[in-house]
Structure 1
Amino acid sequence: MNSHTVRQLVPGPAGAIECAIDAPAGAALGVAVICHPHPQHGGTMDNKVAQTLARAAVALGWRSVRFNFRGVGDSEGAWDEGRGEVDDALAVIAAMRRPGEALLLAGFSFGAYVASQAAAQLPDDAKPQRLALVGPSTQKQQMPAVPADTVVIHGESDDVVPLSATLDWARPQALPVIVFPGVGHFFHGQLGLLKHTLVQQLRTPAG
């Protein structure tokens, strides 16, 4: 993400997992784990929206950890239909989260599905403090219910995941969705606004 980004390998269920770590200027509030979009459609931890999520987290004082799912970049293993990718996220959380440290979980597209599933599978005493989902994959993946303070952002003109699919998922939960008018799946030309919106929304205390 910048010249200070630290690359590190951590152990995962399918072999080593490649991570990119960015630290805030001062003491960190906790660790933010960022999940990237679909590996079979070119998604990596260097995706621009994933980097924007990381930048927002660092701006708020979190230590940001992006990582490549199995079979992507220097991460070992092979695509596992989403199941193993959730295990990868849980392995990164276990490796990177210090004892008692607060956790922010975030993801874009397929990565939002992974983040939401990882959050659901963490034990009650280890749940993330906040969850941020951008362009969540609500049409092709079975997204679980999420906490009421989850930040959900979707583009009105998303041609990969229809806004209607995310609204259908959010409606039974009475979950607000922030809609960027006229914006597509990859938030082209709107990454600055996306970062600003994430910072504003995540700055609000949980609950």
Structure 2
Amino acid sequence: MPEIIFTGPEGRLEGRYQRSRKENAPIALILHPHPQFGGTMNDKITYEMYHLFARRGFAVMRFNFRGVGKSEGEYDQGHGELSDAATALDYLQSLNPTAPFAWVAGFSFGTYVGMQLLMRRPEIVGFISVSAATNIFDFSFLAPCPSSGVVINGTADKICSPDAARDVMAKTRTQKGRRIEFQTIEGADHFFVDHEQELMDAASAYLDRRLGEPPEGLLFED
């Protein structure tokens, strides 16, 4: 799990990278929660998502947004953080030039950045979004969503209402053949305290099912 430093839009960005032992492995980028509320790449859920993809043979990276840890720059309301994520994906692809596809996973603020990123990058074929902050950030940019994925919220989340998240995702249009699934973890709060394993079991089950299917570009050809 080597530390990496790469050049971002506002200076260096700090990350952790796990290469795959497989040739032509897919890649995954993991995005952490809000930088102004203690979010870092070492957040427990971000860390566990990182290892979830690594165990399935992905080349995977998590990194600190600008102004967090050793990453340079200042918080930029999500705009600069999206640029950070795009640069991180470029860097991850440069390390894995034959990767057939990419996934993105985000937690809270990371879902907002990650789902904007997938709108811009057709190589992202799947996503896992945890505690989607739909009542804090505007998700209307998903018009339509180009990739299938899962959104997982806790039923006791008092920061981002699961009902609000469910409603937003239910109303979100998707491209032909794509689907956004919504799941809840009973009794879990925004941070999934005492419910981390249930969260990871749900994320693992979704990822395993998707990896057992043909890639979206093949599955939904006309």
When the two chains are superposed, the root-mean-square deviation of aligned CA atoms in Å is 1.7
> Where does residue 157 of structure 2 map in the other structure?
158
The correspondence of residues 83-102 of structure 1 with structure 2, limited to 5 A, is 83-97=79-93, 98-101=96-99, 102=101
Whether the 8 Å CA contact 1:151–1:202 is kept in 2: the answer is no
CA–CA distance in 1 between the matches of 2:2 and 2:55? 17
Query: Which residue pairs with 1:112 in the alignment?
Result: 111
Question: What residue is the counterpart of 1:202 in the other structure?
Answer: 207
User: SS where residue 150 of structure 1 aligns?
Assistant: strand
Q: CA deviation at 1:176?
A: 2.5
Deviations 1:62-83 (A, max 9, x none): 1220000000000000000110
Shift of 1:100: 4.0
Question: For residues 28 and 47 of structure 1, what CA distance do their matches in structure 2 show?
Answer: 29
Higher relative contact order (CA 8 A, sep 6+): 1
Q: How does 1:1-207 map to 2 (within 5 A)?
A: 5-24=1-20, 26-27=22-23, 29-97=25-93, 98-101=96-99, 102-122=101-121, 124=122, 127-143=123-139, 144-145=141-142, 146-147=145-146, 149-173=148-172, 175-203=180-208, 204=210, 205=213, 206-207=215-216
Larger Rg: 2
Compute the displacement of 1:36 (Å): 0.3
| Residue range with higher mean Cα deviation, 70-79 or 93-102 | 93-102
2:30–2:46 Cα contact (<8 Å) kept: yes
Secondary structure of residue in 2 paired with 1:90: helix
Which amino acid in 2 is paired with 1:46?
N
How far did residue 179 of structure 1 move? 0.5
Q: What is the total number of aligned residue pairs between the two structures?
A: 200
Measured after TM superposition, the shift of residue 88 of structure 1 is 0.2
Runs of at least 4 residues off by over 6 Å: none
Task: Determine helix, strand or coil for the equivalent of 2:136.
Answer: coil
Q: Tell me how far 1:30 sits from its aligned partner.
A: 1.6
Identity of aligned residues (%): 30
Alpha-carbon contact 2:185-2:198 (below 8 Å) kept: no
SS of corresponding position for 2:152? strand
Q: TM-score, normalised by structure 2?
A: 0.84
